[in-house]
Amino acid sequence: MKENLPIITLLTDFGLEDEYVGVMKGVILSINNRVHLVDITHSVGRHDVMQAALVINASFRYFPKGSIHIVVVDPGVGGKRKVICLKKEGHFFLAPDNGVLSLIVGDGKVDGICQVTNQAYFLTPVSGTFHGRDIFAPVAAHLSSGVDMFRLGEKTGISDIVRLDIHAPSISSDDELIGEILSIDRFGNLVTNIDFKLFETFIKETKLKDITVNLGKFKIKGVSGSYEAVKIGSPVALFGSRNSLEISVNQGDARIY
């Protein structure tokens, strides 16, 4: 029978040019070599906490419960920011307390949070610039070995952690649903804060039949089901794999708009 190894995922802005990702994996395997390591991505924009928040929120539910997710997009490394361990829906998250888990805790429901302070689970000495190696990787390895998360440090509350200032969509007096662009993916798709459930509710309540998506001075008629609904090079509005409204260009780059 195939053994079900603990899963540790890694999401960083480190890129792959340097040794950073490989070193983190080496630290993990030195502590627990019976784990399955998965790279979600290391191509988050440098210091782009919002992009990392979107990526981890879009990714974690596709992994088995019990998975440990390391998120290191950490412009405040070595400073006063805390390191936290959070459990939600059976998943563990290790991250700097800089708002990168804002969407994970967006509904206010978590299974537990602690501040990671127990140096017994760190590499020493701890570098002022590489907590991925010295804190996040070893702590994840110890978690995967069965260490209880509350042995890592003192329990804290959801109101005590940093949250990004993410604006909710609004509805104008003219029955317009107003959102904003949260990120731009590798294909140049503009990802908004309007999710499908909100959009569907808005359409039902306003009974709108003719939908126009406005982006600056450009207008897109209707919301499509796929890119090929429009000609190559034409703009299209659709709900992407993250279930959020996106402005795209069929085989092009929506940033031109």
Let me know if the fold of 7-160 is the same as that of 170-256.
Answer: no
pLDDT value at residue 197: 93
Strand 83-88 relative to strand 112-115, pairing: antiparallel
SS3 at position 98: coil
pLDDT digits (tens, 9 = 90+) for 215-256: 887 799 999 999 999 999 999 999 999 999 999 999 999 987
Residues 6+ apart with CB under 8 A from 127: 78, 133, 134
Provide the CATH number for the domain formed by 7-160 in this structure.
Answer: 3.40.50.10790
| The pLDDT of residue 78 is above 80 | yes
Predicted TM-score of the model (pTM): 0.92
| The pLDDT of residue 1 is above 70 | no
Domain 170-256 is of which CATH architecture? Beta Barrel (2.40)
SS3 at position 79: coil
Q: At what angle do helices 20-31 and 137-144 cross, to 10 degrees?
A: 30
Provide the residue ranges of all domains of the chain, joining segments of one domain with +.
7-160, 170-256
Identify the CA nearest to 11 among candidates 101, 84, 80: 101
Q: How many Cβ atoms sit within 10 Å of the Cβ of residue 4?
A: 9
Please report where in the chains the tokens 């089901």 appear, as a residue: 225
